[in-house]
Structure 1
Amino acid sequence: MGATVIVVFLVIVYIIKKTIIIVPEQSVYVKERLGVLNGVLKSGFYFMIPFVDQIRYRQNLKEQTIDIDPQVCITKDNVSVEVDGVLYLKVIDGEKASYGIDNFMLATTQLAQTTLRSEIGKLIFDNLLSERDEINGRVVSNIDRATDPWGIKVTRYEIRNITPPKQILLEMENQMKSERERRAEITISQGEKESRVNHSVGERQESINISEGEKIRLVNEADGRAQEITLISNATAKGLQLISDAISKKGGKEAVSLQITQEYLDALGIILKTSKTTVVPEALANIGGVFEGLSKITTKIPQVGE
């Protein structure tokens, strides 16, 4: 009796389980009734007829990734390269994904490999790296068109590695090394050129500064000499004006004559002391005439003060 109750209980639980179905978010279930498509169940709560309805396929609507294994591809110039990548796709039609193809994941992977080989075969090796984005775009476009009947949307494809043969890798390294050396030489030569230019500019500026300084010095000296000449001229003119004023006064001529005679005699005395042979001017032959002239001058000088 107890065993029968347990069996009945288990049967009831099984029937309830078969009757109630819950579809999670971002999923679709394909339902068949007696082996015939009966509908596609989206996320939610559903009742089913036990032993009549059944869930045949469960499809995930989230974006999925497929690793594309490394494969050997031959470029247009007959260079063998090993390429791998990753493919991103999502199911947009659960019915087509279930009945359009047996295994859409495997089929899409193989399609990605063949499409990639075809696209790489259109390019030469030197353009593979520079046109990587273009290759990815063309692979996605071709696969997406091919998988449309399967209810699959290919969102993107990314090449991960492009591995050329070892010999080509060595040649690429040598080429990069020579390119770096060439750029280093160019940088050094440009630095030396700039250094020479800066040095010449500095020397030129120094010469300009020296010439400007010399010019300013000469101008200052000329200004100084001009001022000196002006001062001397002014002083001389003032002295001459004073002499002229003194001469024009009463007794001025006699005073000037006395001054000139005195200076003349002083100079003559110096000559007589320093020279052994002296030539006496004819005007001094009559020394009496000299003193007579001096006497006249001295008698008139007091009148100047009057």
Structure 2
Amino acid sequence: MRGRERDRVKGTRTDAVEPAKKGRRFVVAPDASTEVVGERASSAGVALFSLTVFLVVFVAVLGAWAALAGPVGAVAAACALVAAGFAAMAVHIAQQWEKVVVLRFGRFNRVSGPGLFWTLPIVEQNTMRVDTRVRATTFGAEETLTADLVPLDVNAVLFWHVWDAKAACTEVGDFTRAVELAAQTALRDAIGRAGVAEVAIRREQLDRELKRVLEEKVAPWGIAVLSVEVRDILLPRDLQEVMSLEAQAEQRKKARIILMEAEQDICEMMGEMGDAYAENDAALRLRAMHLLYESVRETGGTVVVPSSFSEGFGDVLGDAAKDALKGGKL
């Protein structure tokens, strides 16, 4: 799939939310189709079946007329046409995902399908074929003010399906359009009750709130809302820069606090070490010797120390270590 076809999910265009025109906050381009271009189910089989029924009945009536009444004339052809027309009107096929609402003299009679079903010609009518598959509808709101009066552009996608074909046909005029408008209204209301930071950070909470509101709204229409997902939140450029500076300042503040806490811990540890070394001079000298060793271990160089420093080591380690230090062996 390429271009727009790749971005369409079950017949919903990614550009369904068009740029706002002058004097309008938002514009929705409804798309009632639920199939992807290139994967659209063919109805040729249904049309071929109806044509076959028509021809079979037409030929059967002519054959019966010829067998019972003799030569076939205009009257026989007219009767055959009428019978074939009624037969084609009486037999129907609904696809696996379709539900057909049947009215009898304008009153609801039943929901038929999928598969083969029959109706009474003239008396019953196939009012609406309802697609019961999951649909994806994109919607959005442009320049919607938050609780702190910041205009936001928000785009979202709604996943839903029809579970009651009777209610979808009899309770609302255009349920596809009604679902889109209800989703937009719920989105604008949710944005208006929250601040810009809450909308930008708590997307999952916004998704759950929209789903709950829409479920209550569309349930009487025989429609179930599966999920609502906010796809994009666009902030004004000036506000983005201000929020970026605020975030940078907050990070610097956290870094300084962490550094101060580390310095405090180091200070406490150094105080404890000082107390320990104050009570044990030999441990302090051993520590100094260890630090000296660590400083020359990697490079393998020679360290020249003052004689007083070497005498300090000698007090701890004895005359042998003192002689070694004086001789430059360490």
Which residue is equivalent to 1:36? 107
Which of 94, 108, 113 aligns to 2:184? It is 113
Residue 76 of structure 1: CA displacement? 1.0
Q: Which amino acid aligns with 2:237?
A: K
Identity of aligned residues (%): 22
Residues 1:155 and 2:236 aligned together? no
Look up the SS of the partner of 1:128 in the other structure: helix
Kindly state the Cα deviation for residue 145 of structure 1 after the two structures are TM-superposed.
0.6
Counterpart of 1:132, as a letter, is R
Partner of 2:17: none
Q: CA deviation at 1:215?
A: 4.2
2:154 is matched with which residue: 72, 83, 86? 83
Residue 125 of structure 2 is matched in structure 1 by: 54
Match among 278, 284, 288 for residue 207 of structure 1: 288
For residues 213 and 9 of structure 1, what CA distance do their matches in structure 2 show? 128
RMSD of Structure 2 on Structure 1 (CA): 4.1
Equivalent residue pairs, number: 219
SS at match of 1:15: helix
For 2:96 and 2:254, the matched residues in 1 are separated by 58
Distance 1:220 1:160, change over 3 A: closer
- Deviation per residue, 1:263-288 (Å, 9 max, x gap): xxxxxxxxxxxxxxxxxxxxxxxxxx
CA distance in 2, matches of 1:160, 1:208: 63
Query: Could you tell which deviates more after superposition, 97-106 or 155-164?
Result: 155-164
Q: Which position in structure 1 is the counterpart of 2:90?
A: 19
Q: Give the 3 Å change call, closer, same or farther, for CA 36–166 of structure 1 in structure 2.
A: same
Q: Does the alignment pair 1:130 with 2:211? A: no
| Cα deviations by residue, 1:138-193 (Å, 9 ceiling, x for unpaired) | 11111111111111111111111211222102212333444566677789999999
Aligned pair 1:99/2:170, yes or no?
yes
Q: Larger Rg: 1 or 2?
A: 1
Q: Which consecutive residues of structure 1, in runs of 5 or more, have no partner in the other structure?
A: 222-306
Tell me by how many angstroms 1:33 deviates: 2.0
SS of structure 1 residue aligned to 2:201: coil
Alpha-carbon distance between aligned partners in 1 of 2:144 and 2:201, rounded to the nearest angstrom: 17
* 1:239-254 alignment runs, 5 A limit: none
Residue equivalent to 2:242: 171
The 1:183/1:19 distance shift into structure 2, 3 A limit, reads: same
The structure-2 alpha-carbon separation of the partners of 1:145 and 1:220, relative to structure 1 and needing over 3 Å to count, comes to: closer
